[in-house]
Amino acid sequence: MITEVVLPGQVEPEGLQLRTRPLPEPGPGQALVAVEASGVSFAEQQMRRGKYYDQPPFPFVPGYDLVGTVVSTGPGVDPALRGRRFAALTKIGGWASHALVGAGDLVEVPEGVDPAEAETVVVNGITAWQMLHRVAKVRPGMTVLVHGANGGVGTTLVQLARHAGVKVIGTASPRHHDAVRALGATPLDYRDPDLPGRVRALAPGGVGAVFDHIGGEGIVDSYRLLARGGTLVSYGTAATRDIPGSSRAPVLKLLARLALWNLLPNGRGAHFYNLWAGRRRLAAYQARIRADLGQVLALLASGEFTAVVAARIPLSDAAEAMRLAESGTVTGKVVLVADQSARPDGEEEGVR
């Protein structure tokens, strides 16, 4: 049997349901993965409010990414994948004991890396790596501004930027400043009314890049803080999560604004990063994911990158995991781990 967490509609975390059904058979090109770890991302906070840009229809099984072991393979898939540990981006479906994943979406996890630690760098590692190296193209010696430096993507951005020789100013609530400092960034309070002045005091000529997941009116400050030749990487609209209305309007407004800024002849660039962009050319997209996530997993395996696991919570306590992720008290990633009795060979389930 498979155990999965279902989001039945717009509910509080307590409204999440647990359901069981027979294990599915992998179809052509698919592998069945026994999930060892899945993450709680900001996307699920938006999805449970019906506010995710690409909102799936209710009911559905959330779970943006996962790490697990292949237990069976469908036609056309190398049976040698069985018994090996992989990571995958799923967008939905990861909060389950097992998940069907396209074999082309599997990225091998290096031997000896803990599944929950590997999990922290799947969506976050790909997002942070691609924004730093494919969009902003950071260089050693540069100074960048990372908003939400305590969050899942934020902690990953800070560490990968530091690894690339980049100085980081990281915004977060004051309760997270010690943690942000420990990652190697200079912390500032994002609620400080004079945040732009404080950034300018640290980087008088402006910053080389700003990574902004907040959107709203604050994006104007993010853009103004850029040095000539600098890049604004906008990648979310967290500011509008709790504002009722269309899930798409805030993003479309943001895109229009960025497009307009790009027309200005001031040497600055403004981009929206979308993790799923380019997936229509599937093979090339999957090759990029393998290359970029592979780099981050290698840094994790070598100890040059430290996974920031905020908490490991059993799958059947997904509601608690969600409440914690939304509490504003967290540094790093909340990870759902397989229930104690769930076994990677799929023979026994921890159904509650």
Ligand X SMILES: NC(=O)c1ccc[n+]([C@@H]2O[C@H](COP(=O)([O-])OP(=O)(O)OC[C@H]3O[C@@H](n4cnc5c(N)ncnc54)[C@H](OP(=O)(O)O)[C@@H]3O)[C@@H](O)[C@H]2O)c1
Amino acid identity for residue 210 in this structure: V
Amino acid identity for residue 135 in this structure: V
Taken as a whole, the chain contains a residue count of: 352
Enumerate residues 6+ apart whose C-beta is below 8 A from 285. 278, 279
Q: Which of 114, 162, 184, 274 binds ligand X (CB under 6 A)?
A: 274
How many residues make contact with ligand X (CB under 6 A)?
A: 27
Of residues 175 through 194, those in contact with ligand X by CB under 6 A are 190
Stretch that binds ligand X, among 37-45, 70-78, 91-99, 286-294 (CB under 6 A): 37-45
Q: How far is the CB of 183 from ligand X (least distance, A)?
A: 12
Binding of residue 275 to ligand X (CB under 6 A): yes
Q: Which residue in 63, 73, 76 sits closest to 24, CA to CA?
A: 73
Residue 71 or 172: the one with the smaller Cβ distance to ligand X is 172
335: helix, coil or strand? strand
Residue 83 or 174: the one with the smaller Cβ distance to ligand X is 174
Q: How would you class 284 by CB atoms within 10 Å of its CB: exposed for 0-12, middle for 13-18, buried for 19 or more?
A: exposed
Q: Do residues 62 and 94 lie in contact, with contact meaning Cβ atoms separated by under 8 Å?
A: yes
Q: How far is the CB of 11 from ligand X (least distance, A)?
A: 18
Residue 70 or 209: the one with the smaller Cβ distance to ligand X is 209
Binding of residue 161 to ligand X (CB under 6 A): no
Residue 81 or 313: the one with the smaller Cβ distance to ligand X is 313
Stretch that binds ligand X, among 77-85, 114-122, 230-238, 244-252 (CB under 6 A): 230-238
Amino acid identity for residue 76 in this structure: G
Binding of residue 123 to ligand X (CB under 6 A): yes
Q: Which of 26, 187, 208, 236 binds ligand X (CB under 6 A)?
A: 236
Residue 32 or 296: the one with the smaller Cβ distance to ligand X is 296
Amino acid identity for residue 21 in this structure: R
Q: Of all helices (H) and strands (E), which one includes residue 321?
A: helix 318-325
Stretch that binds ligand X, among 199-207, 271-279, 311-319, 340-348 (CB under 6 A): 271-279
Distance CA 261, CA 272 (A): 12
Q: Do residues 118 and 297 lie in contact, with contact meaning Cβ atoms separated by under 8 Å?
A: yes
Cβ-proximal residue to ligand X, closest one: 151
Q: Which of 195, 325, 337, 342 binds ligand X (CB under 6 A)?
A: 325
Distance CA 246, CA 249 (A): 6
Q: Which residue in 30, 145, 20, 35 sits closest to 85, CA to CA?
A: 35
Per CB under 6 A, residues contacting ligand X are 41-43, 123-124, 127, 148, 150-154, 172-173, 190, 213-214, 235-236, 238-239, 273-275, 325, 328, 330
